[in-house]
Amino acid sequence: MRLPAGTRLAAVLVSGIAIVTMAGCTAAPAPSASPAALATTAAAASSSARPSPSTAKPKATPKPARSSTTARSSTAQTSAPRVPASPASPAPIPSGRVIVLNPGHNGGNAANSAAINRQVPAGFGQYKACDTTGTETNAGYAEHAFNWDVSLRVRSLLQAKGVKVIMTRSSDSGVGPCVDERARIGNQPGVAAVVSIHADGASTSGHGFHVCEDSRQPGGAAVAAQSHALTVAMHDALLRGSGMTVSSYLGSNGYYPRSDLAGLNLATVPATFLEIGNMRNSGDAQEQSSADGRQQIAQAVASGILGWLASR
């Protein structure tokens, strides 16, 4: 997704917490540390982390906000090349592992602009909007709905393998929660990792997924190394099984380190942030809008998480 701008959260949010929203992986300021620097940290703290990709960071196109009056573009789109899925068979996962899935945005955000525009801490002294509305396909399929659907599918796949899953929101009709509250949910004791699920909104010619990791070390070197290993595992699983290629328009080889995402900046546990395709591209949008396509994506995401858990 692009940078801008109910139910209760079952067994997660404390009674009385206002539910408001989250910002996506959009156009971002240049990271303060390169993927190469992250790889150095990862190598020192975890032998399982791979070197990060090159530091090329093309400027992202601002992400269009979704609203009920969004004009439908009739501009011709370039279809993304598809790659075949290859099912993975990760090792069995010990019971008791906890994963937080963070489906970006929420269905009620667009109608509650005052709530989602409220400024909240975003880490490292930054403040940003509580959340944004997200993007959508040119046919009107909303990112918040895509994020929610894929997350539910991933949850089912993980639970079938004995992994406990916590969701940062309990429906696709509420508002929020804000990005800082989502981070607090992820930082609960016993959580192994946080995986944020989003899609992007860029020029129609761009296609493919990219994975964001923090270009700094909010949780220290050891957590940064584990976050990097998780990011690599998710990248490889998406490339192997999602049906999408790496991003043709942003980052380097499907990686995009950032310093402006609250969900990463405030994380004290391993965390990564997925941008699973460009909703404005006809090829990516076709897969994102299809139940079969979303199931294929979810299987890839679950495979990456299970593989990372098995390697710890």
Dist. CA 236–CA 246, nearest whole Å: 10
User: In b/e form, how buried is each residue of 266-297, taking b as 16+ CB within 10 angstroms?
Assistant: bbbbbbbbbbbbbbbbbbbbbbbbeeebbebb
| Residue from 136, 143, 213, 275 carrying the catalytic annotation | 275
In this structure, what are the phi and psi dihedrals at residue 62, rounded to the nearest 5 degrees?
-55, 140
Q: Could you confirm whether 275 is annotated as catalytic?
A: yes
- Is the separation of the CB atoms in 216 and 32 below 8 Å? yes
What's the DSSP call for residue 90?
P
Dist. CA 272–CA 292, nearest whole Å: 24
Which residue bears the tokens 């990760």?
90
Residues assigned a catalytic role: 275
